[in-house]
Amino acid sequence: MNEYNYIKKQDAEIYEAIMGEEAREASGLELIPSENYVSRAVREANGSVLTNKYSEGYPGRRYYGGQDYTDAVEQLAIDRACELFGCTYANVQPLSGAPANVAMYFALMEPGDTVLGMDLSHGGHLTHGHPTTSINKVFNFVRYKMKDVDTGEIDYDELREVALEHKPKIILAGFSAYSRELDYQKFVDIAREVGAYAVADMAHIAGLIAGGVVQNPFDYGFDVITSTTHKTMRGPRGGMILIREDKEIAQKINKAVFPGLQGGPHMNLIAGKAVAFGEALRPEFKEYCQQVLKNAKAMEKVFLEKEVRLLGGGTDNHLLLADVYGSLGVTGQEAETVLDEIGITLNKNMIADESRTAMDPSGIRFGTPAMTTRGMKETEATRLAEIMIEVLKDKDNQQLKDALKAEVEALCTSFPVPESFV
């Protein structure tokens, strides 16, 4: 059955683009660590009649009538999120991870207050205070870095010194391109010492936390977690803010999201989140998360054996960051292009203390969430790592690229994108 019959009849151009993307995803391999596949159930919720409904406010406290079913959907999403992460309060309305972070900042700080977060080139995110972002004009951002980029160890002594000097209102743990576990207890201890909120941006590893295969910041006393609901969560593209137990913080967060930042929530997205959270509560999700880590370690082993430098020395989660320029003489942009030609999608990425530009950096970032969703295991992960290095070492060999593209397509045919995870 073609699920796009109405689009096909009404808008041929959009239909062709959707079909093209469907074919691209089916025949190619997705290694961007922030991307994944959602179940058919999540897609159905995302495309449901709930997109028609305005629902400003929160369950039981809406500004419009007719909210019986929207209230039920949002409360299910809240309850399931709290169960997954072991917290008391959750706001599931943020439209994505960046708005979630912005709302959190406004909830916990006044303009001009200071945030201490990870430096972008050492693995942080744009919303952690990069100079190009608008939020950088409102709040003061100071940064910490890794002490040793070859082990990934954070310089916690420097972090504490910066905190004592600048007295931030928020100390932010979290990352966009960092492959090691953080010492959450040290973050909390420093935050308590300077009177700051301990906040974790867990957008990348939220699913792994929910699956119980990496540490949960709430277990160490963090006040707030912000996150996306896609990536390792396998939900629709959206955001959420979780509050460990403080009701006053939860009230501030709710007001900052609505009416502070957003109007009507996207109830279809919230329904998709609720469905994904329900999937994550099943035993199969923990097994999936365990395999994500196993596959990442399998790829790590190949890169280290082939003497391709990995930032942080390897990985404790779902992603890896490789210095392909330093190891193979190929820039991150060249690597992204060459790998795309053989059906492997990943992204160029800056490395710590980058000497090149952001649009043509030294590194590539890749990960295992999507390939694991397709059912691939260590054998496939190992071979994919070998393919990546093989083609990057001989990137101008068209015959080799054709052969490897055929191999990648055959692998994707053997491991199709699933319709359901339950």
Q: Are residues 256 and 358 in the same domain?
A: no
Confidence at residue 129, expressed as pLDDT on a 0 to 100 scale:
79
Query: CA–CA separation, 265 vs 251, rounded Å?
Result: 17
Q: Are residues 274 and 292 in the same domain?
A: no
Domain that holds residue 361: 288-414
Q: What is residue 288's three-state secondary structure? A: helix
Confidence at residue 19, expressed as pLDDT on a 0 to 100 scale:
97
Domain end marker among 253, 280, 307: 280
Confidence at residue 251, expressed as pLDDT on a 0 to 100 scale:
98
242 strand-pairing partners: 90, 225
Which residues, 6 or more positions from 201, have their beta carbon under 8 angstroms from its beta carbon?
97, 101, 125, 127, 128, 172, 173, 174, 175, 225, 226, 227
Handedness of CA 155, 156, 157, 158 (dihedral sign): positive
Confidence at residue 1, expressed as pLDDT on a 0 to 100 scale:
47
Confidence at residue 125, expressed as pLDDT on a 0 to 100 scale:
85
27 is a domain residue: no
Confidence at residue 2, expressed as pLDDT on a 0 to 100 scale:
67
Q: Are residues 147 and 292 in the same domain?
A: no
- Please state the separation of Cα 174 from the chain's center in Å: 10
Query: CA–CA separation, 85 vs 81, rounded Å?
Result: 6
CA distances to 112, 186, 276, 309, 351 from 33, rounded to whole Å, are 33, 27, 18, 18, 16
* CATH code of residue 309: 3.90.1150.10
Catalytic residues: 54, 56, 201, 228, 231, 237
Confidence at residue 176, expressed as pLDDT on a 0 to 100 scale:
84
- Please state the separation of Cα 64 from the chain's center in Å: 33
148 is a domain residue: yes
100 is a domain residue: yes
387 is a domain residue: yes
Which run of H or of E encompasses 87? none
Nearest to 387 by CA among 370, 373, 366, 372: 366
Q: Quote the number of domains for the chain.
A: 2
38 is a domain residue: no
246 is a domain residue: yes
Digit-by-digit pLDDT tens for the chain (422 residues) are 468 999 999 999 999 999 999 999 999 999 999 999 999 999 999 999 999 999 999 999 999 999 999 999 999 999 999 999 999 999 999 999 999 999 999 999 999 999 999 987 788 888 887 888 899 999 999 999 999 999 999 999 999 999 999 999 999 999 888 999 999 999 999 999 999 999 999 999 999 999 999 999 999 999 999 999 999 999 999 999 999 999 999 999 999 999 999 999 999 999 999 999 999 999 999 999 999 999 999 999 999 999 999 999 999 999 999 999 999 999 999 999 999 999 999 999 999 988 899 899 999 999 999 999 999 999 999 999 999 999 999 999 999 999 999 999 999 999 999 999 98
The Cβ of residue 210 has, within 10 Å, a number of other Cβ atoms equal to 28
C-beta separation of 303 from 312 below 8 A: no
Domain end marker among 280, 298, 322: 280
Confidence at residue 405, expressed as pLDDT on a 0 to 100 scale:
98
DSSP of 125-172? -GGGT-TTSGGGGTSEEEEE-EEETTTTEE-HHHHHHHHHHH--SEEE
Q: Are residues 236 and 320 in the same domain?
A: no
